[in-house]
Amino acid sequence: MKKIYEGKAKVLYQLEDPETILMVFTNQATALNGKRKEDIAGKAILNTQISTLIFEWLESVGIATQLIKKIDDDRQVVKRLEMIPLEVVVRNRVAGSFAKRFGLEEGGVLSKPTVEFFLKDDELDDPFVNVSQLTSLNKITEEECQTISDLALKINDKLIQLFDEAGLILVDIKFEFGKDSSGNIILGDEISPDNCRLWDKVTEEKLDKDRFRRHLGSLTDAYEEVSKRLDAVIAHQK
């Protein structure tokens, strides 16, 4: 199989059918844009489990995703997308770089969710970018920005509800989108506690990658808890 992409947490291979790709999750956890790296046993399996649960649930509520199916503990077959080189962050509460940029305490509830775009470019440390810059640089059209922003907010709304039922606060989340062979913009990549912030609703304990970033205790214990709670909520809905 031909390797077509190697990221920090996933490797992609072209499958025989040109419309499909094998997504292999890795145990690697990184912080400081890859400057700190660690292998965490069990992370790949947990992220595959959680991302599959969430993408299948999103499909069931009418959101098109890249996922075709999970085929192994740490592997999914996904649709080939032409990925849009953006990290689309939606924030419901103040945390992380937003807290730092505006000198705010973490945890404050925003009056409405906010959408931010970061250019996906490791060498430049994924710079913050606005719609005007994106369109001037011909990275994306204004219409596409609007579609992505609307879709990100819609998915965020649905996930707030899902996580709430699992006793979790969705603080913020990063999405990646791509175009399918018909030109439709659909949700790609993964959704796991690697790319969102999840706090326990009662204790506000962090159950996401901030545990690794900030040395707050076992990552896999937290991810197992998230997986268990989501599994229970989704099974109950069926």
Residues of this chain that interact with ligand TMP (CB under 6 A) are 87, 89, 95-98, 126, 172-174, 195-197
**Minimal distance, residue 124 CB to ligand TMP, in Å:** 12
Q: Which is nearer to ligand TMP, 192 or 227 (CB)?
A: 192
**Minimal distance, residue 68 CB to ligand TMP, in Å:** 23
Half-sphere exposure of 196 (CA within 13 A, CB side): 30
**Minimal distance, residue 196 CB to ligand TMP, in Å:** 5
**In terms of Cα–Cα distance, which of 34, 33, 7 is closest to 21?**
7
Torsion of CA 42, 227, 5, 124, to 10 degrees: -100
| Beta bridge pairs of residue 119 | 86
Q: Which is nearer to ligand TMP, 126 or 231 (CB)?
A: 126
DSSP H helices in 83-209:
96-102, 131-136, 142-165
CB-closest chain residue to ligand TMP: 96
**Minimal distance, residue 166 CB to ligand TMP, in Å:** 17
The answer to whether the Cα torsion of 152, 173, 97, 198 is positive or negative is positive
Q: Which is nearer to ligand TMP, 15 or 113 (CB)?
A: 113
Q: Give the C-alpha separation, 74 to 88, whole Å.
A: 25
Contact at 8 Å (CB) between 84 and 144?
Answer: yes
Q: Which is nearer to ligand TMP, 101 or 201 (CB)?
A: 101
Scanning the structure block, which residue is given the tokens 């649905």?
A: 158
Scanning the structure block, which residue is given the tokens 């990646």?
A: 176
Give the single-character DSSP code of 220.
H
Q: Which is nearer to ligand TMP, 181 or 217 (CB)?
A: 217
**Minimal distance, residue 110 CB to ligand TMP, in Å:** 13
Quick one: which H or E segment has residue 12? Answer: strand 10-14
**Minimal distance, residue 118 CB to ligand TMP, in Å:** 7
Q: Which is nearer to ligand TMP, 126 or 200 (CB)?
A: 126
